[in-house]
Structure 1
């Protein structure tokens, strides 16, 4: 039978329509937002209807808040990484073994604040495409607020509260003992490169019948709050001349009594001289000196280390260094290359510097997030910043030493659960953390700060026989 040209054309059109119709599909996913807890892994569901194979299709996951930049791409049966947003690298994957039945869901690991947004799942075949959009909300409960006493301000007492690691952006409020909001200064809010918020706020308080004040950090969207209460003794508010005179006289009396007692002690022991500033067994402490060398694999990209690994300073530019998982990415810090337990001691020259942080940390600290460096987070550190010295205890202690340290000694007694700091030139004890909880080896910690270009120098310890 002879087929006409018109019949042939009709047959071709019918074939094309049948082919196109056979490849048509819908892209489906959840109708509700996905709430992700920071640090967890989540799955963004996406699948084809009917459940046809997506193995030969292009699967794109896009973050619409990044102007359609690629979160993940699967094309020509392989993963394409060229256009991927950098902070998604190593954290995204498909369930490739389930592509044959149309499962194109995305797995996102170690969720961070910047992951919040609208995600589009776009599936394309040779002749058809469809997409679906899902909203991801990120929830992160920050640290317990840390309250510190700033000192006398405008006829009252200045207090500072700070907390970090929140998402979304939290609110900080100060309350008196009756729960009434106090008038405070404007909050300072900073966001880390991972999208987590740090907030701090000053308040000036007056003496009350209880002298109890509370700092509360709260986030209404995720219905979470953390708070810390501080109690101030009444004496701290009194600054009248007669009281100051009384305090001075008491101090002088205490000094006189101490001096008299030491004199009697020296006579009884028949010693020519007693250095009352040094710890009685300080030379014994120094005999526990260890050789500390800085670990370049842990150093932040802006830190410049000397060739011998004994000096570190802050540079202006990020260096091109490997992303090895050990490196500090949010703090300009570096660790010693060896961890210790038992008793160990080292010395660091800080002469001429206007900013630094020294101490020890647990090996398991998170080096990709900026935590407050307190014992609860695995840090036992002393710092100089803005002209003030602070022992970063769970309730930080700020003080002004009689003599500025030019060289600092750090001593750890693992069994006694103590970390102590010494001013070498002045021959004095600076501060000790006591009752510490140690569960793993401790590593020397160094942060040279960014306010000067002078190096922190790990010094050899000269032990007198």
Structure 2
């Protein structure tokens, strides 16, 4: 568990003031993939704000991950960008004009699935306290008769993305593939394939490294469930058939796979090396599942 008082001793001192309390008007936020979200915690100002005495820390911790990620840090009134995790560079900001009102509002733009998790809001201002806020990320809303399969990868060099069904028929023309360049010079590639629910077959998403003549493939099974099915059954069906996940890119060290029956989402981040095939997903330990919702 995260222990803010211990972990941040090298940055802040925490005098004990029983009256200093951080409050959160909302403990759970739900954001749509690609949208913007603001999360807020409040603290007592007691008159005019002395910005030089104020420190604010926003950190994110995902289920199953040992290390937290620095989202935004304000130390003694100054923004500390050197500690900010690269995933939040250019996307996370603190609304400074709200600080004088005792509101530490974190804004995240272009929400990613990896933004989901527990957020720590820690305030040090003539006393210290913290609270946790949960952010859930849902898939974009399409028509109810559609399913969306999303492949996402980050690495170098830029990979091409191909989609095909179990009959090896190319579906790449129906996919929407985009990429962004990170601050570290890596390519973040996202490809979305939308299909009709009546197309009950397997689908493959292939990342192709043209320069190295290597590929990484993900095989999807479209699970279509009636309203009588419960969540555990759906989770088992989805994980049971999404197997044969191969890792050949040494340079692509982070993979994200989504299964979604809009608007709900199942998400799994593979923690595997690049030496060979991974285990079938339904055999992976529970702690490898980062975020899950009904299919």
**TM-score bracket for the superposition, by shorter chain length:** 0.3 to 0.5
Structure number with greater CO (CA < 8 Å, separation at least 6) is 2
Q: Which has the larger radius of gyration?
A: 1
TM-score, length of structure 2 as denominator length: 0.46
